[in-house]
Chain A
Amino acid sequence: MAMGKNIRVLRDIKARHGVQANEVARRAYLFVARNETLPPQVRHQAQLQLNSFGKYTRPTTVKNRCTETGRGRGIISEFGLCRFQFRLKALRGELNGVQKASW
């Protein structure tokens, strides 16, 4: 496994699976909870249902991580790498067309 296999990466994978599995139901409850034409009691119930979903079903828990090291900051999303791995790979010539520049 090339990817850094630390707990943050595993957590992110779990979150991605959870979000995918519950996306439609969550958004349906959101639709009800934010619909101002519905009675307040119904909207409140929907909001309570929303809160009962687990924390790994929220789309905001998904974070892009470095595919080599699992680092969560400084990701260059086009390559899915953190800045240091990007530099190493670019210098090794593993990224197509990327070369050193100066200006």
Chain B
Amino acid sequence: MLGGRLSTFPRWLCSAGTCLDRARTLASVSGSGASQQKQENAISQPLERVSEISLDPSILPLRVPLDAAKGSFTEEQYAASLVHGRSIHHPFFHPRTHNVPVASIHFRSHSPRQLEFFTHFATHAACALGIPVSRPVMLPTKRTLWTVLRSPFAHKKSQENFERRVHKRGIKAWDADPEVVARWVAYLRQHAMGGVGMRITRWERMPLGIGSSHAAGLAAGFGKSPSASERSQRIKTLGEEIVKAETEATEGSVRVSS
């Protein structure tokens, strides 16, 4: 029954299912009758609308702290000690301290719902790591259009339109340590979602004196010709060889004929 009811919810709210399961576990674990009554009421409430779930905190399970003196506890008891259902809300966005940009991530996908899900995940991950990030920003959707004839031959008047949309979102990050940002990026890469692409731009502070060392490195490598012009250089040298061979040949032929 529970599953059937939840199946009408959008996919990104699926964690609500976990939340309700945890509520049951919690009710069975906690000994006090009053809180059990409250939880039962919470479960029996009709969950018709998404907004009710996301806005009403009273239906979310309460936290049951673990008794550290007991020492051992089951996995279910540990799970009940966590606050579940937070993932369907917005995370707490840490305020910026120095306004120094450290990373900018662009997400792109054909499916806006997958994109919304994954940006939600990315912001939660960043906020859990304590990185001040922006909310996901809408970037312009790229729309590519094609018009093709319906038939393999002739019948120009009967055509069909196709399109492909690439939806984009951007998240910016500030003020975090490069190592923390690297962790965040690695976590996002590890849990990358099929159908959602990421483009990560990171900025890092360089140590003092980087300019002079960079200039020294440039001076050392200045003698080498760049790879882009190697090809034209090769053509030129080969051309010169041909000129040489041809001039010799023509001179020889002139001598013979004269």
Contact = CB atoms under 8 A, between A and B. Distances in A.
Interface of A: 24-25, 27-29, 31-32, 35, 38-39, 41-42, 45-46, 74, 76, 83-84, 86-87, 90, 95-103
Interface of B: 110, 145-146, 148-152, 160-166, 234-236, 238-239, 242-243, 246-247, 249-250
11 contacts: A24-B238, A28-B235, A28-B239, A31-B235, A35-B239, A39-B247, A42-B246, A86-B146, A87-B149, A96-B110, A101-B163
Contacts of A31: 235-236, 239
A9 B235 CA distance: 30
A95 B144 CA distance: 13
Contacts of A45: 246, 249-250
A84 B151 contact: yes
A31 B152 CA distance: 44
B162 A98 contact: yes
A83 B149 contact: yes
Contacts of A101: 145, 161-163
Contacts of B146: 76, 86, 98
A32 B247 CA distance: 12
